[in-house]
Amino acid sequence: MSEKLIPVPDGLVGSRFDVAAAKMLGISRAQADQLITDGQISMDKPRLTKSTRLMAEDILILSLKEEQEKPEEPLASEMDILYEDEDVIVVDKPVGVAAHASAGWTGPTVLGSLLRRGVPITHLGAAERRGIVSRLDVGTSGVMLVCKSDVAYIEMRRQFATHEVTKIYEAVCQGNLKQDHATIEAPIARDKTSTFRFSVSPVGKEAITHYDVLERFGNATHVKVNLETGRTHQIRVHFSSIGHPLVGDPLYGANPQMSEHLGLERQWLQAMSLTFRHPRTRVWMTVRSHYPLDLEKALETLKKDHEAKLARDYAMGK
Protein backbone atom coordinates (compact mmCIF):
# COMPACT_ATOMS: atom_id res chain seq x y z
CA MET A 1 0.00 0.00 0.00
CA SER A 2 1.38 3.43 -0.98
CA GLU A 3 0.67 6.70 0.88
CA LYS A 4 0.47 10.09 -0.77
CA LEU A 5 -0.30 13.55 0.65
CA ILE A 6 -2.25 16.07 -1.46
CA PRO A 7 -2.86 19.66 -0.26
CA VAL A 8 -6.37 20.98 -0.89
CA PRO A 9 -6.30 23.43 -3.85
CA ASP A 10 -7.70 26.92 -3.28
CA GLY A 11 -10.64 26.26 -5.58
CA LEU A 12 -11.94 23.45 -3.35
CA VAL A 13 -11.64 25.19 0.02
CA GLY A 14 -15.10 25.08 1.59
CA SER A 15 -16.17 22.01 -0.39
CA ARG A 16 -17.40 18.79 1.20
CA PHE A 17 -14.70 16.18 1.83
CA ASP A 18 -16.24 13.61 -0.54
CA VAL A 19 -16.93 16.15 -3.31
CA ALA A 20 -13.39 17.54 -3.13
CA ALA A 21 -11.84 14.06 -3.10
CA ALA A 22 -13.77 13.10 -6.24
CA LYS A 23 -12.68 16.24 -8.10
CA MET A 24 -9.04 16.01 -6.96
CA LEU A 25 -8.72 12.38 -8.06
CA GLY A 26 -10.85 12.64 -11.20
CA ILE A 27 -13.26 9.94 -10.04
CA SER A 28 -17.00 9.77 -9.45
CA ARG A 29 -18.45 10.83 -6.10
CA ALA A 30 -19.66 7.26 -5.52
CA GLN A 31 -16.11 5.98 -6.01
CA ALA A 32 -14.77 8.64 -3.64
CA ASP A 33 -17.39 7.72 -1.03
CA GLN A 34 -16.32 4.07 -1.19
CA LEU A 35 -12.62 4.90 -0.87
CA ILE A 36 -13.38 7.13 2.13
CA THR A 37 -15.45 4.36 3.73
CA ASP A 38 -12.58 1.90 3.13
CA GLY A 39 -10.12 4.31 4.75
CA GLN A 40 -8.12 4.78 1.56
CA ILE A 41 -8.82 8.52 1.51
CA SER A 42 -8.63 10.37 4.84
CA MET A 43 -7.47 13.52 6.61
CA ASP A 44 -5.93 14.18 10.01
CA LYS A 45 -9.01 15.89 11.44
CA PRO A 46 -11.14 15.07 14.49
CA ARG A 47 -14.75 13.95 13.87
CA LEU A 48 -14.08 13.64 10.13
CA THR A 49 -17.13 12.75 7.98
CA LYS A 50 -17.86 12.80 4.26
CA SER A 51 -19.67 16.13 4.69
CA THR A 52 -16.82 17.85 6.56
CA ARG A 53 -16.01 21.19 4.88
CA LEU A 54 -12.36 21.57 3.85
CA MET A 55 -10.09 24.36 5.04
CA ALA A 56 -7.08 25.95 3.31
CA GLU A 57 -4.51 24.07 5.39
CA ASP A 58 -6.10 20.63 4.98
CA ILE A 59 -4.23 17.76 3.33
CA LEU A 60 -5.79 14.63 1.88
CA ILE A 61 -4.06 11.37 2.81
CA LEU A 62 -4.24 8.72 0.11
CA SER A 63 -3.49 5.18 1.24
CA LEU A 64 -4.46 3.42 -1.96
CA LYS A 65 -4.05 -0.31 -2.37
CA GLU A 66 -1.66 -1.36 -5.11
CA GLU A 67 -3.75 -2.28 -8.13
CA GLN A 68 -3.55 -5.83 -9.36
CA GLU A 69 -2.79 -6.30 -13.02
CA LYS A 70 -6.05 -5.92 -14.90
CA PRO A 71 -7.01 -8.17 -17.79
CA GLU A 72 -7.07 -6.48 -21.18
CA GLU A 73 -10.37 -4.78 -21.90
CA PRO A 74 -12.52 -6.50 -24.58
CA LEU A 75 -12.54 -4.75 -27.96
CA ALA A 76 -15.83 -3.38 -29.33
CA SER A 77 -15.08 -4.76 -32.78
CA GLU A 78 -18.56 -3.99 -34.18
CA MET A 79 -18.41 -0.29 -33.31
CA ASP A 80 -18.60 1.63 -36.59
CA ILE A 81 -17.02 5.02 -37.20
CA LEU A 82 -19.57 7.48 -38.61
CA TYR A 83 -17.22 10.46 -39.00
CA GLU A 84 -13.57 11.22 -38.27
CA ASP A 85 -11.07 14.02 -38.81
CA GLU A 86 -8.06 15.40 -36.94
CA ASP A 87 -10.24 16.87 -34.17
CA VAL A 88 -13.21 14.57 -33.52
CA ILE A 89 -14.35 11.02 -34.06
CA VAL A 90 -18.04 10.09 -34.00
CA VAL A 91 -18.89 6.43 -33.45
CA ASP A 92 -22.04 4.33 -33.65
CA LYS A 93 -21.89 2.89 -30.13
CA PRO A 94 -23.37 -0.62 -29.89
CA VAL A 95 -25.49 -1.73 -26.94
CA GLY A 96 -23.39 -3.38 -24.23
CA VAL A 97 -20.49 -0.97 -24.67
CA ALA A 98 -19.78 1.61 -21.94
CA ALA A 99 -18.56 5.10 -22.77
CA HIS A 100 -15.49 4.65 -20.57
CA ALA A 101 -14.08 2.44 -17.84
CA SER A 102 -15.66 2.59 -14.38
CA ALA A 103 -15.62 0.63 -11.14
CA GLY A 104 -17.13 -2.82 -11.59
CA TRP A 105 -17.37 -2.64 -15.41
CA THR A 106 -15.41 -5.38 -17.20
CA GLY A 107 -16.89 -5.08 -20.70
CA PRO A 108 -15.73 -3.05 -23.71
CA THR A 109 -15.69 0.75 -23.72
CA VAL A 110 -15.77 3.35 -26.46
CA LEU A 111 -12.59 5.04 -25.24
CA GLY A 112 -10.67 1.80 -24.67
CA SER A 113 -11.63 0.39 -28.06
CA LEU A 114 -10.62 3.59 -29.87
CA LEU A 115 -7.24 3.62 -28.14
CA ARG A 116 -6.68 -0.04 -29.00
CA ARG A 117 -7.45 0.78 -32.64
CA GLY A 118 -4.69 3.37 -32.53
CA VAL A 119 -6.95 6.43 -32.60
CA PRO A 120 -5.17 9.42 -30.96
CA ILE A 121 -7.30 10.93 -28.18
CA THR A 122 -6.67 14.17 -26.28
CA HIS A 123 -5.36 13.78 -22.73
CA LEU A 124 -7.71 16.50 -21.48
CA GLY A 125 -10.31 15.33 -18.98
CA ALA A 126 -10.10 12.74 -16.21
CA ALA A 127 -7.79 9.87 -17.16
CA GLU A 128 -10.50 7.23 -17.46
CA ARG A 129 -12.76 9.43 -19.60
CA ARG A 130 -10.33 11.64 -21.51
CA GLY A 131 -11.75 13.15 -24.67
CA ILE A 132 -15.34 12.36 -23.71
CA VAL A 133 -17.72 15.32 -23.45
CA SER A 134 -21.06 13.46 -23.61
CA ARG A 135 -21.89 9.84 -22.78
CA LEU A 136 -24.46 7.18 -23.62
CA ASP A 137 -25.65 4.51 -21.18
CA VAL A 138 -24.37 0.97 -21.66
CA GLY A 139 -27.90 -0.06 -22.71
CA THR A 140 -28.33 2.79 -25.20
CA SER A 141 -26.87 2.64 -28.70
CA GLY A 142 -26.15 5.26 -31.32
CA VAL A 143 -24.17 8.40 -32.09
CA MET A 144 -21.41 9.37 -29.66
CA LEU A 145 -18.65 11.95 -30.13
CA VAL A 146 -15.10 11.72 -28.74
CA CYS A 147 -12.49 14.48 -29.01
CA LYS A 148 -9.10 13.75 -30.55
CA SER A 149 -7.53 17.22 -30.14
CA ASP A 150 -7.27 19.61 -27.21
CA VAL A 151 -8.97 22.30 -29.31
CA ALA A 152 -11.95 20.00 -29.90
CA TYR A 153 -12.24 18.99 -26.25
CA ILE A 154 -12.34 22.56 -24.97
CA GLU A 155 -14.81 23.75 -27.62
CA MET A 156 -17.11 20.71 -27.62
CA ARG A 157 -17.28 20.71 -23.84
CA ARG A 158 -18.43 24.32 -24.07
CA GLN A 159 -21.03 23.52 -26.74
CA PHE A 160 -22.52 20.66 -24.72
CA ALA A 161 -22.52 22.75 -21.52
CA THR A 162 -24.35 25.63 -23.23
CA HIS A 163 -26.85 23.28 -24.96
CA GLU A 164 -25.73 24.31 -28.45
CA VAL A 165 -25.52 20.69 -29.59
CA THR A 166 -28.75 19.12 -30.86
CA LYS A 167 -29.11 15.52 -29.69
CA ILE A 168 -31.91 13.63 -31.42
CA TYR A 169 -33.03 10.24 -30.12
CA GLU A 170 -35.80 7.88 -31.10
CA ALA A 171 -37.63 5.84 -28.49
CA VAL A 172 -40.64 3.57 -28.17
CA CYS A 173 -42.66 4.00 -25.00
CA GLN A 174 -45.50 1.90 -23.65
CA GLY A 175 -49.07 3.08 -24.09
CA ASN A 176 -50.63 5.73 -26.30
CA LEU A 177 -49.30 9.21 -25.62
CA LYS A 178 -52.07 11.82 -25.46
CA GLN A 179 -50.18 14.60 -27.26
CA ASP A 180 -48.40 14.55 -30.60
CA HIS A 181 -45.89 17.15 -29.43
CA ALA A 182 -44.97 17.95 -25.84
CA THR A 183 -42.21 18.90 -23.44
CA ILE A 184 -41.43 17.09 -20.20
CA GLU A 185 -39.75 19.45 -17.77
CA ALA A 186 -38.93 17.86 -14.42
CA PRO A 187 -35.72 17.89 -12.32
CA ILE A 188 -33.85 14.58 -11.96
CA ALA A 189 -31.84 13.24 -9.02
CA ARG A 190 -30.37 9.92 -7.97
CA ASP A 191 -33.10 7.71 -6.51
CA LYS A 192 -32.87 7.28 -2.73
CA THR A 193 -33.96 3.64 -2.94
CA SER A 194 -31.43 2.42 -5.51
CA THR A 195 -27.86 3.20 -6.53
CA PHE A 196 -28.62 2.58 -10.20
CA ARG A 197 -31.95 4.41 -10.57
CA PHE A 198 -32.74 8.06 -11.04
CA SER A 199 -36.07 9.76 -10.47
CA VAL A 200 -37.92 13.05 -10.75
CA SER A 201 -37.20 15.04 -7.61
CA PRO A 202 -37.68 18.67 -6.52
CA VAL A 203 -34.05 18.70 -5.37
CA GLY A 204 -32.75 17.32 -8.67
CA LYS A 205 -30.98 19.03 -11.57
CA GLU A 206 -32.97 20.76 -14.30
CA ALA A 207 -33.99 18.36 -17.08
CA ILE A 208 -35.95 19.21 -20.24
CA THR A 209 -37.11 16.67 -22.85
CA HIS A 210 -39.03 17.55 -26.04
CA TYR A 211 -40.79 14.84 -28.04
CA ASP A 212 -42.78 14.42 -31.27
CA VAL A 213 -44.87 11.34 -32.05
CA LEU A 214 -43.68 9.48 -35.15
CA GLU A 215 -46.10 6.53 -35.10
CA ARG A 216 -48.76 5.06 -32.85
CA PHE A 217 -49.34 1.34 -32.28
CA GLY A 218 -52.12 1.51 -29.70
CA ASN A 219 -50.16 -0.23 -26.96
CA ALA A 220 -46.95 1.69 -27.73
CA THR A 221 -45.82 4.99 -29.27
CA HIS A 222 -42.75 5.66 -31.42
CA VAL A 223 -41.31 9.12 -30.70
CA LYS A 224 -38.52 11.44 -31.75
CA VAL A 225 -36.84 13.02 -28.73
CA ASN A 226 -34.79 16.20 -28.53
CA LEU A 227 -32.82 16.58 -25.30
CA GLU A 228 -32.33 20.15 -24.16
CA THR A 229 -30.34 18.90 -21.17
CA GLY A 230 -28.33 15.70 -20.75
CA ARG A 231 -29.00 14.10 -17.37
CA THR A 232 -28.24 10.45 -16.67
CA HIS A 233 -31.18 8.25 -17.78
CA GLN A 234 -33.11 11.44 -18.65
CA ILE A 235 -35.35 10.01 -21.39
CA ARG A 236 -36.03 6.83 -19.43
CA VAL A 237 -36.86 8.71 -16.24
CA HIS A 238 -39.03 11.35 -17.91
CA PHE A 239 -41.21 8.95 -19.88
CA SER A 240 -41.59 6.68 -16.85
CA SER A 241 -42.62 9.71 -14.77
CA ILE A 242 -45.61 10.38 -17.08
CA GLY A 243 -46.71 6.74 -16.99
CA HIS A 244 -45.13 5.67 -20.29
CA PRO A 245 -41.87 3.80 -19.57
CA LEU A 246 -39.72 2.86 -22.53
CA VAL A 247 -40.47 -0.56 -23.97
CA GLY A 248 -37.87 -3.08 -22.77
CA ASP A 249 -36.83 -1.02 -19.72
CA PRO A 250 -37.72 -3.01 -16.57
CA LEU A 251 -35.66 -0.69 -14.35
CA TYR A 252 -38.25 2.03 -14.97
CA GLY A 253 -41.41 -0.04 -15.10
CA ALA A 254 -41.62 -1.67 -18.54
CA ASN A 255 -43.89 -4.70 -19.00
CA PRO A 256 -41.63 -7.81 -19.11
CA GLN A 257 -44.14 -9.80 -21.19
CA MET A 258 -44.15 -7.11 -23.84
CA SER A 259 -40.35 -7.01 -23.85
CA GLU A 260 -40.18 -10.77 -24.30
CA HIS A 261 -42.74 -10.68 -27.14
CA LEU A 262 -40.66 -8.04 -28.95
CA GLY A 263 -37.39 -9.87 -28.32
CA LEU A 264 -35.91 -6.94 -26.40
CA GLU A 265 -33.25 -7.32 -23.72
CA ARG A 266 -32.81 -3.55 -23.27
CA GLN A 267 -34.79 -0.34 -23.63
CA TRP A 268 -35.91 0.73 -27.12
CA LEU A 269 -33.78 3.85 -27.29
CA GLN A 270 -31.39 4.98 -30.02
CA ALA A 271 -29.25 8.13 -30.29
CA MET A 272 -30.07 8.90 -33.92
CA SER A 273 -28.16 12.09 -34.71
CA LEU A 274 -25.84 14.76 -33.37
CA THR A 275 -25.73 18.30 -34.77
CA PHE A 276 -22.86 20.54 -33.71
CA ARG A 277 -20.55 23.28 -34.92
CA HIS A 278 -17.18 21.82 -35.90
CA PRO A 279 -14.69 22.91 -33.22
CA ARG A 280 -12.07 24.09 -35.73
CA THR A 281 -13.88 25.06 -38.95
CA ARG A 282 -16.98 26.38 -37.13
CA VAL A 283 -19.17 24.79 -39.83
CA TRP A 284 -22.42 23.20 -38.64
CA MET A 285 -22.58 19.46 -39.26
CA THR A 286 -24.92 16.56 -38.53
CA VAL A 287 -23.87 12.93 -38.04
CA ARG A 288 -26.58 10.25 -38.21
CA SER A 289 -26.93 6.66 -37.07
CA HIS A 290 -29.42 3.91 -38.01
CA TYR A 291 -31.51 1.34 -36.15
CA PRO A 292 -29.58 -1.66 -34.84
CA LEU A 293 -31.06 -5.07 -35.64
CA ASP A 294 -32.80 -5.71 -32.29
CA LEU A 295 -34.60 -2.34 -32.30
CA GLU A 296 -35.54 -2.67 -35.97
CA LYS A 297 -37.05 -6.13 -35.41
CA ALA A 298 -39.02 -4.94 -32.36
CA LEU A 299 -40.38 -1.99 -34.36
CA GLU A 300 -41.44 -4.29 -37.19
CA THR A 301 -43.22 -6.60 -34.71
CA LEU A 302 -45.13 -3.65 -33.25
CA LYS A 303 -46.21 -2.54 -36.73
CA LYS A 304 -47.38 -6.04 -37.71
CA ASP A 305 -49.26 -6.50 -34.42
CA HIS A 306 -50.98 -3.13 -34.86
CA GLU A 307 -51.94 -3.84 -38.47
CA ALA A 308 -53.32 -7.24 -37.47
CA LYS A 309 -55.39 -5.65 -34.70
CA LEU A 310 -56.78 -3.02 -37.08
CA ALA A 311 -57.73 -5.75 -39.55
CA ARG A 312 -59.51 -7.75 -36.81
CA ASP A 313 -61.35 -4.66 -35.60
CA TYR A 314 -62.42 -3.84 -39.15
CA ALA A 315 -63.67 -7.40 -39.71
CA MET A 316 -65.70 -7.17 -36.49
CA GLY A 317 -67.18 -3.82 -37.49
CA LYS A 318 -65.42 -1.82 -34.80
pLDDT at 294 over 90: yes
277 three-state secondary structure: strand
- The answer to whether 229 and 163 have CB atoms below 8 angstroms apart is yes
Please tell me the predicted confidence (pLDDT) of residue 172: 98
pLDDT of residue 299: 96
Active-site hit among 137, 180, 191, 249: 137
Task: Report percent pLDDT > 70 for the chain.
Answer: 94
Q: Which residues contact 104 (CB under 8 A, 6 or more apart)?
A: none
Write the DSSP symbol of residue 203. T
Question: What is residue 69's predicted lDDT score, i.e. its pLDDT?
Answer: 44
Could you give the domains of the chain?
Answer: 2-64 (3.10.290.10), 70-161 (3.30.2350.10), 163-291 (3.30.2350.10)
Judged against a pLDDT cut of 60, whether residue 13 lies above it is answered with yes
pLDDT higher than 90, residue 273: yes
Q: Which of 51-55, 65-69, 277-281 has the highest mean pLDDT?
A: 277-281
Strand boundaries in 45-155, DSSP class E: 59-64, 80-84, 88-93, 141-147
- In this model, does residue 1 exceed pLDDT 70? no
At 26 the pLDDT is 63
Estimate to the nearest angstrom the gap between the alpha carbon of 61 and the chain centroid.
Answer: 32
Mean pLDDT of 17-30: 78
At residue 223, does pLDDT exceed 50? yes
What pLDDT shows up at residue 68? 42
Q: How far apart are the first and last CA of the chain?
A: 74
**Looking at residue 199, what is its pLDDT?**
93
Residues in Cβ contact with 81 at an 8 Å cutoff, skipping those fewer than 6 apart: 89, 90, 91, 92
Active-site annotation holds for 137 = yes
The pLDDT tens digits for 196-222 are 789 999 999 999 999 999 999 999 999
- Residue 27: the pLDDT is 73
* pLDDT score recorded for residue 5: 80
* Secondary structure class of 116 (helix, strand, coil): helix
Calculate mean pLDDT across residues 58-65: 79
Mean pLDDT of the chain: 89
Burial (0-12, 13-18, 19+ Cβ within 10 Å), 288: middle
pLDDT-derived band at 70 (thresholds 50, 70, 90) equals: low
State the pTM of this model: 0.75
99-125 pLDDT, tens digit each: 998 766 788 999 999 999 999 999 998
137 versus 271: the higher-pLDDT residue is: 271
How confident is the model at residue 195, as a pLDDT? 67
Average pLDDT over residues 123-130: 86
